[in-house]
Amino acid sequence: MVVFAADRRIFPFAKAGSQSFVALYDNECQGLLHIVARHYRQFQKAIPALEAVLLQLPLELRNLIKAATFASSLTSADCLADIAAFLKNDKDSETKRLLSKAQYLVAAYFDTVLTPTRHLKKTTTKGGKPQHHFEVKLGGADAELILGTSKDVKFPRIITAFFKMSKPTPPSTPSCPAVQKPTHANTASHMPFREKGKHLNVDTSPLKEKKIL
């Protein structure tokens, strides 16, 4: 069952000690809008309709989202702040409608993949932040959807989400046949000038001159 709220989306999930995941709408720092802004290049591979929606946004906003996507962890906060400033000053209701649709597409995708059967594991980053790993497909290949969440036990908030491609299983290397060492009998049978089981006696004494009569 999908639960809607005015400012958030709730994804019921009964595993790993969590009752439900919660994702905020219209927040550039966490939740669904944050995921669209920071990771749309990955998500549009999983959600084909997402790219068409984002292409309808104003050019300036598209450039700001692109900058946030390619930003490093050191500069991403500034890029997200630029998006927030643009949206605060933007009076076009069409922009808001398109962003709401983009967030809805991500949420609808989460509805299909955030299930106990797809849940692989729960890990913690070096900084102590929880992550939930889900088994998914991305572009037809095996991948993991990784949710970065808050530390709340019952209702962890989805801060961000991204994909990690699964490592392919290396092909098995055929074993080489063992080299058989020749036995004494085999060696004797292939040696010229020697009968089996016998050694060849060779006269190594110096040659004698033949007297001319």
pLDDT in tens, 96-146: 999 999 999 999 999 999 999 999 999 999 999 999 999 999 988 999 999
- Beta carbons within 8 Å of 170's beta carbon, 6+ residues apart: none
Q: What is the pLDDT of residues 22-58, one digit of tens each?
A: 999 999 999 999 999 999 999 999 999 999 999 999 9
CB 43 within 8 A of CB 91: no
pLDDT band at 176 (very low <50, low <70, confident <90, very high): low
Backbone angles phi, psi at 137, to 5 degrees: -115, 140
CA atoms within 13 A on the CB side of 7: 4
Q: What is the pLDDT of residue 163?
A: 97
Rounded Cα gap, residues 47 and 65, in angstroms: 17
CA dist list (Å): 177 to 30, 174, 180? 58, 9, 9
Segment holding 12, helix H or strand E = strand 8-15
Q: Residue 14: what are its φ and ψ, rounded to 5°?
A: -115, 75
DSSP designation for 42: H
Min mean pLDDT across 26-40, 160-174, 189-203 is at 189-203
With 70 as the cut, is the pLDDT of residue 188 above it?
no
> In the structure encoding, which two tokens stand for residue 164, read together?
């990690």
